[in-house]
Amino acid sequence: MSLRYAVPMVTLFTLVASACVDEPSLHRLDFKTPTELHQFFAYKEGSTIVSGHRGTIEQGLPENSIEGMEAVLRHAPAFFEIDPRLTKDSVVVLMHDKTLDRTTDGTGMVADYTWADLQQLRLKDRDGNVTPYRIPTLDEAIEWARGKTVLNLDQKDVPITLSAEIIRKHDAYSFVMVTVHSPEQARFYLDQNSDQMLSAHIKTPDVFEAYRAADIPFNRMIAYIGPDIKAENQEMYNLLNAAGVMCMISAAPTYDKLLSSEERAEAYRAVFADGASILESDLPIEVGDALKDRDVR
């Protein structure tokens, strides 16, 4: 998909889906170079972008599944935060928890099983129902995402050296970003490849200054500033937006848990009205619907 970055207001819900013979209904974020990725996530006033937290848990689909992410893209453009973990034989799979019990029909620690063992299991949906879907590997997710979307690799038990090597192996710098919790982690990834896109936890002015002091470039990152609307956000918006950085709020532990869809929609819209550019949610399809109702452009 060709994107024009000179447009003053960027809204994912106005992007045109790329034509594709085998998947005509998928909305795509298709960046050919790391520079295109960096430019897309550079702060622009009025930007409205949705991130699927662990993919999605909607429509009876399991979190951290390729099928869930693809379902979101049939509805609206989005990028996705996913959770890499190591198996006993050092295969990187997608799994949020250390244990298998909540999200699969297996039990015990992920790290106690080989990849061959885990292939026998099936994922559960949010209500605990077993689905036909299996645990994907990170390699599978990256190759699925190519030409479709952007993945944000959260940090679990995978060494950052291995995460960096996997991204290098797939030459995925134009569509894979990594979550970092410190300037030191950011510097490691950038030393491996200066094009690496970052999703940095920057919740306070002191942390912002630590990134600046460490000479971490702000033109290849987004910043996670917290899970809710609060007065302190305004200082972070001012600091980060002035540096060209989009700010992300995660509704997963907060507004996603409101009881009614109307309450949730109101909260999602309020997050963007408050000044955020990116909303991360367990319910990205619902977020898309809330923003469409508001006719966001």
Q: Region 123-141: what's the mean pLDDT? A: 98
Q: Residue 18 above 70 pLDDT?
A: no
Percent over 90 (pLDDT), the chain: 90
3-state secondary structure of 75: helix
* Per-residue model confidence (pLDDT) at position 74: 96
Q: What is the largest CA-CA distance in the chain?
A: 51
C-alpha 1/C-alpha 147 separation (Å) is 9
Backbone dihedral angles phi then psi of residue 248, each to the nearest 5 degrees: -115, 135
* Per-residue model confidence (pLDDT) at position 293: 62
User: In degrees, to the nearest 5, what angle opens at C-alpha 221 toward C-alphas 87 and 53?
Assistant: 50
Mean per-residue pLDDT of the chain: 92
End-to-end CA distance of the chain: 18
pLDDT grade for 4, boundaries at 50, 70 and 90: very low
Question: Which token pair is 239?
Answer: 């600091």
Q: Residue 3 above 50 pLDDT?
A: no
* Per-residue model confidence (pLDDT) at position 198: 98
Question: Which token pair is 7?
Answer: 């447009």
Q: Please tell me the pTM assigned to this model.
A: 0.91
Q: Where are the alpha helices (DSSP H) in 160-248?
A: 160-170, 183-192, 205-213, 233-242
Instruction: Report the number of secondary-structure helices (H) and strands (E) in the chain.
Output: 10, 10
Note the pLDDT tens digit of each residue in 65-115.
999 999 999 999 999 999 999 999 999 999 999 999 999 999 999 999 999
Q: How far is CA 36 from CA 3, 31, 33, in A?
A: 8, 6, 5
Place of tokens 């959770």: 83
Contacts of 136 (CB under 8 A, 6+ apart): 64, 65, 66, 93, 94, 144
User: What is the pairing mode between strands 84-86 and 92-94?
Assistant: antiparallel
Task: Decide which of 20 and 98 is more confident.
Answer: 98
C-alpha 55/C-alpha 49 separation (Å) is 14
Place of tokens 């928890």: 97
C-alpha 109/C-alpha 104 separation (Å) is 11
C-alpha 197/C-alpha 13 separation (Å) is 22
Fold assignment, 12-77+135-293:
TIM Barrel (3.20.20)
* Per-residue model confidence (pLDDT) at position 160: 97
C-alpha 30/C-alpha 1 separation (Å) is 5
Note the pLDDT tens digit of each residue in 182-241.
999 999 999 999 999 999 999 999 999 999 999 999 999 999 999 999 999 999 999 999
* Per-residue model confidence (pLDDT) at position 292: 84
C-alpha 64/C-alpha 73 separation (Å) is 14
User: In degrees, to the nearest 5, what angle opens at C-alpha 231 toward C-alphas 230 and 235?
Assistant: 115
* Per-residue model confidence (pLDDT) at position 13: 41
Q: Which residues pair with 200 in a beta bridge?
A: 180, 223
Note the pLDDT tens digit of each residue in 157-198.
999 999 999 999 999 999 999 999 999 999 999 999 999 999
Helix-, strand-, coil-residue percentages of the chain, each rounded to 5: 35, 20, 45
